[in-house]
Amino acid sequence: DTGVSQDPRHKITKRGQNVTFRCDPISEHNRLYWYRQTLGQGPEFLTYFQNEAQLEKSRLLSDRFSAERPKGSFSTLEIQRTEQGDSAMYLCASSLGRSTVTETQYFGPGTRLLVL
Amino acid sequence: GESVGLHLPTLSVQEGDNSIINCAYSNSASDYFIWYKQESGKGPQFIIDIRSNMDKRQGQRVTVLLNKTVKHLSLQIAATQPGDSAVYFCAEIPLIQGAQKLVFGQGTRLTINP
């Protein structure tokens, strides 16, 4: 499968714990995006990377959230001191990122987080 | 502000019929529009996209229509099949230099009746 992959697919944690999610984009895609989706809603943008540079962060991304893409390939999203309101599906997407033209974003299967 | 909304939250059609899913957007500066299909427990799957310099684009069994005058977007699915049952989202990217953020609407749940 050459699509976007995410790990884990499901995560259950207790409030106050830290969690980390991983995203592997489509090979040779330079742009990587993180979105959050709550039940019954459309995905909401969190942040995106052009290669290893984090270029935009949403106000939804509080200080407890941090995303990295150290080598410009896979990315991690960490949530510290999780709260029940963090329960959601965390989606990763990637696109070619070869120009400034808007490009199609392809999504992974998501990581569903439940904070107890 | 930016917002993308859908006229109907649910839509039921008979198998074999055509379906039309509508979407209204509020940002007249949006340059790029895209339809995604999301099945339960899965990530959004790209269906078709259209840029603001076009008013119609066709794919396999799907057509997207863009009416910039009334800021309306629609997705037409021909000869619906059971596998078309899913939630459909429209999304937009505003025309801002370097902008890559998709703004999604709430979604329409399409149910195909046998």
Residues in a beta bridge with A93: A33, A107
Q: Kindly state the average pLDDT of the residues A49-78.
A: 92
* Band of pLDDT at residue B99, cut at 50, 70 and 90: low
B6 or A51: which leads in pLDDT: A51
Is the bond preceding residue A8 a cis peptide, omega within 30 degrees? Answer: yes
pLDDT exceeds cutoff 60 at B5: no
Q: Which residue of A has its CA nearest to B109?
A: A40
What is the predicted pLDDT for the residue at A83?
97
The model's pLDDT over B68-87, given as tens digits with 9 standing for 90+, comes to 999 999 999 999 999 999 99
Other Cβ atoms within 10 Å of B33 Cβ, number: 24
Give, as one character, the DSSP assignment of residue A28: T
Record: contact A43-B104, CB cut-off 8 A: yes
pLDDT exceeds cutoff 60 at B7: no
Q: Which residue of B has its CA nearest to A103?
A: B100
Other Cβ atoms within 10 Å of B47 Cβ, number: 20
The model's pLDDT over A20-62, given as tens digits with 9 standing for 90+, comes to 999 999 998 999 999 999 988 899 999 999 999 998 888 888 8
Task: Give the percent of chain A with pLDDT over 70.
Answer: 98
B37 to chain A, closest Cα gap in Å? 11
Q: Is the torsion defined by CA of B59, A108, A35, A98 positive or negative?
A: negative
**Distance (Å, rounded) from C-alpha A99 to C-alpha B85?**
35
Q: Which of residues 9-28 of A touch B (CB under 8 A)?
A: none
The model's pLDDT over B16-58, given as tens digits with 9 standing for 90+, comes to 999 999 998 878 788 889 999 999 989 999 999 999 999 999 9
**3-state class (DSSP) for residue A108:** coil
**Distance (Å, rounded) from C-alpha A89 to C-alpha A44?**
10
Other Cβ atoms within 10 Å of B87 Cβ, number: 19
Q: Are B48 and B59 in contact (CB under 8 A)?
A: yes
Q: Which residue of A has its CA nearest to B45?
A: A107
